[in-house]
Structure 1
Amino acid sequence: MQSSLFDQADRRELGDGAWLEVRSGWLSQDGVADDTLFAELRDSIPWRSERRQMYDRVLDVPRLVSFHHLVDEPPPHPRLKQLRRRLNDAYAGELGEPFVTAGLCLYRDGSDSVAWHGDNVGRSRTEDTMVAIVGLGATRVFALRPRGGGPSLRLRHGHGDLLVMGGSCQRTWEHAIPKTTRAVGPRISIQFRPYDVR
């Protein structure tokens, strides 16, 4: 694991205009206890399963999902609005715009995952952007690799940690949550994005 590279909440330049920042324990740094947030989100979010075309078959997506426009609709939990405000205070100036959406994924166990991809639907296909991810629950590996090949990073994304991918990261790098055969508990990731980035 290479999470020790980021223990001081530093930003690491990845090349080609991409960067990654990890802030361990970010969620508890606002002085609000976060121990119950995982259970509250698990029980109150309107989770749904999805099916996607993969080559010649339609398969179940191996996680549950929920997507919310935090500006246009009431949040499904009040902490999402508070977290969005904190992120905007920290990053909106550099980003040039606020985070406006929250996408949530529930990984029920180690067999739930997300394959290699970049969040490059919408403007992020051609423009630099940021995606901020807050992890809750079990620690999972968050893997990154350059598009087209090269050395990869494998980070331990733990409960309350913030991970921000910025610059060209969604176009020049891919990320994934790999499956694991280890016994691992459930995890929720909350992905905050600006307008027209998925």
Structure 2
Amino acid sequence: MDFQATLFEPAPAGADGPTGLDTGRIERRELSHGAWVDVGRSWLPDADEVLEALVREVPWRAERRQMYDRLVDVPRLVHTYMIGETLPHPTLEAARDALTAHYAAELGEPFRTAGCCYYRDGRDSVAWHGDTIGRGSTHDTMVAIVSVGDPRKLALRPRERDEGGESIVVTMGHGDLVVMGGSCQRTWEHAVPKVASAGPRVSVQFRPFNVF
């Protein structure tokens, strides 16, 4: 794995619990149409270890998708940990629990599943979409993304672009957290564009039950 690991500073004083998951460092940006995005920089402790565990332990699979008249490779590897399945590093379990506690008043339910995407290099990407299979198509919900590895851009744009609301880009760095909430999944779209050059990156998307 061609990734230059970083040496992280110890968790700041006042961090939540022994893991250093400090939800007080999460900042919100309001978007149009009732959507919002929260960002926590360098939020995940043990990011180097988590990246190594994800690459090594996750049973990654390649998918193929129908594109017009042919099958094409999905440009990333994927795996989903369903309800009750053990995640490949204890820090991820702690992160899910900390996010559930932090967003309890707004979300009203726990984060239950963890979808994982492995972007092996800059050619791997995800096209514009919203997580609208399941309850995200009709109800406000949240998707919390933890990113480890090389920085990649998460682009967001309003689904109805003629009704106002400018597009934004959030660069997700090693150990960063981004939470898309409110109406974001049904009124906005997001994508991870291809880039000329990038090292490996893994994203873990925590979702409530029946949000895909």
Same fold (TM over 0.5): yes
CA contact (8 A) 1:95 1:130 kept: yes
In 2, distance between residues paired with 1:21 and 1:128?
Answer: 15
- Aligned to 1:26, what secondary structure does the other structure show? coil
Moved over 6 A (4+): none
Aligned equivalent of 2:127, options 115, 121, 126:
115
The answer to whether residue 169 in structure 2 is matched with residue 158 in structure 1 is no
Shift of residue 39, structure 1, vs aligned partner = 1.0
In 2, distance between residues paired with 1:187 and 1:131?
Answer: 18
- Aligned to 1:65, what secondary structure does the other structure show? strand
Identity %: 58
Aligned equivalent of 1:84, options 86, 96, 104:
96
Aligned equivalent of 1:171, options 177, 183, 186:
186
The answer to whether residue 23 in structure 2 is matched with residue 11 in structure 1 is no
Shift of residue 77, structure 1, vs aligned partner = 3.5
Paired residue total: 185
The answer to whether residue 24 in structure 2 is matched with residue 35 in structure 1 is no
TM-score (norm 2): 0.83
TM-score (norm 1): 0.89
Change (3 A) 1:75 1:35: closer
Give the structure 1 partner of residue 195 of structure 2.
Answer: 180
Q: In terms of Rg, which structure is larger?
A: 2
In 2, distance between residues paired with 1:179 and 1:186?
Answer: 13
Q: Structure 1: give runs of 5+ residues left out of the alignment.
A: 1-7
Render the CA deviation track for 1:85-132: whole Å, top value 9, x for unaligned: 111111122101000000000000000000000001001110000000
In 1, distance between residues paired with 2:185 and 2:151?
Answer: 23
- Aligned to 2:139, what secondary structure does the other structure show? coil
- Aligned to 1:53, what secondary structure does the other structure show? strand
Q: Structure 2: give runs of 5+ residues left out of the alignment.
A: 1-24
Shift of residue 192, structure 1, vs aligned partner = 0.2
Change (3 A) 1:151 1:35: same
Give the structure 1 partner of residue 158 of structure 2.
Answer: 146
Give the residue type in structure 1 aligned to 2:124: D
Shift of residue 54, structure 1, vs aligned partner = 1.9
Give the residue type in structure 1 aligned to 2:27: D
